[in-house]
Amino acid sequence: MRRVYFGTDGVRGAYGGKVVNEAFFTALGEAAARWLGARGVRSGKVLIGRDTRESGASLARALGTGILRGGGCAVSLGIVPTPAVSRATRLGGAALGAVITASHNPASDNGVKFFGPDGAKLTDEDEASVESVLVQAGGPPYPGEGDLPVESALEPYIEGALRLLPAGALLGWKVAIDTANGATCASTPTVFTALGAAVICLGNRPDGHNINDAVGSEHPEALARLVVSTGSRLGVAHDGDGDRCVLCDELGAIVDGDEVLAVLATHALARGTLPRKTLVVTVQSNLGLDRAVEAAGGRVVRTAVGDRYVAERMRELGACLGGESSGHILNFDFGPTGDGLAAALKIAGVMAETGRPLSELRRILRKFPQASAALAVRERKPMESLGALASAVTALEAELGSAGRVLVRYSGTEPKLRFLVEGPTDASVRSGLDRLVAAARSELDVL
């Protein structure tokens, strides 16, 4: 069954557009509740959290209205990180969890993603089933978010995160934290402070319009400068909803998701604590990650882009660690979805246990030269119809052989065609990428 509204990570788009608006969210909430009812879950509790976007309160209210109309029980969690909603859904016996967020997108966008009762994101099939019962509903949303009963998910989430490290584990540390003016402003600094660290904050004054604005995991440059200027041991940058993190070592160098995964996986392998000796990543991750993990005695399994596909494969294999180069890191010993705070704490734990700085730990990953690009397009023409691009991909793959990779795909969250090329040298990678982009431009209406 084909999905129309759900993409790689829920429903997402410009607020006030055809999909991200109060009327549609009311209809979507009603469809989700009716879908639960068809599965035998009557009056199922649905927990609704949101990030700091100005449009979030109204959309949460609309979604809750729809859930009530569909026979469900909607509960507001207020502003909380996405992994806190996942955790509350799993541990609180809820039928569904929902987060109103557009993740790392600008404040003008918004969206929603759903979690099942196990705290994991809904599958493609589940999302398609929700869409199948969706009918555009009329009627205004309720007048205020306060009409929904309220529960707290933030304090239990913080308490759970604190148990990842021993009490006082970060005494004497100085840590710079960029919360992207988003949902982690009240959680990540609190946890690091409680563990003993002196915390310097950035991007911690949300006003409804500044989420991800030149701060956060998409813009870690300011964090890097702050780490260096304050002499911090570690820098942590989240996206707007807190399910990913990008780190910065004490020298001011950015540490991406692949490097985080390499450090965690090889450390666990050395201790004999990586289940199945397996790390699960997406096709986007650098080939150097495979080499590093294999050299440490493990293996890497790849999935389609999207942390929920990583999570699904992890469950199939009995793996416990996985993620994406973008900074979605999944630690099943803490929760079933990406969690930027948990990832940062895990890295801090490795640093504390080994006594080694992050600048040294990250050297375990030697990246293959890599280049990427994206073209904004008016129409997503079927890939099989792009003959010139297909020929260019085939030719480049033949040139690179086993020494490289080519990845061309449409974004699951934006109207863009994305390219990634890895190879033995920077020159071969750049030349190959340029040829692919030129071929795509010849066949697509590029914005």
How far is 262 from 267, CA to CA, in rounded Å? 8
Coil, helix or strand at residue 415 = coil
187 carries an active-site annotation: no
For the chain, what's the residue count? 447
7: DSSP letter: B
HSE value, Cβ hemisphere, 13 Å, CA-based, for 138: 0
How far is 363 from 384, CA to CA, in rounded Å? 40
Return the closest-CA partner of residue 157 out of 210, 194, 206. 194
How far is 268 from 319, CA to CA, in rounded Å? 12
Q: Is residue 28 within 8 Å of 11, Cβ to Cβ?
A: yes
**H/E run at residue 419:** strand 416-422
How far is 196 from 210, CA to CA, in rounded Å? 29
Coil, helix or strand at residue 157 = helix
Strand pairing of 321-323 and 329-331?
Answer: antiparallel
How far is 101 from 48, CA to CA, in rounded Å? 11
How far is 168 from 160, CA to CA, in rounded Å? 15
Per the DSSP assignment, residues forming a β-bridge with 322 are 280, 330
How far is 53 from 181, CA to CA, in rounded Å? 9
175: its two tokens: 């840590």
How far is 300 from 281, CA to CA, in rounded Å? 7
Strand pairing of 109-115 and 11-14?
Answer: antiparallel
Per the DSSP assignment, residues forming a β-bridge with 246 are 237
Catalytic residue among 55, 58, 86, 103: 103
Residues with active-site annotation:
103
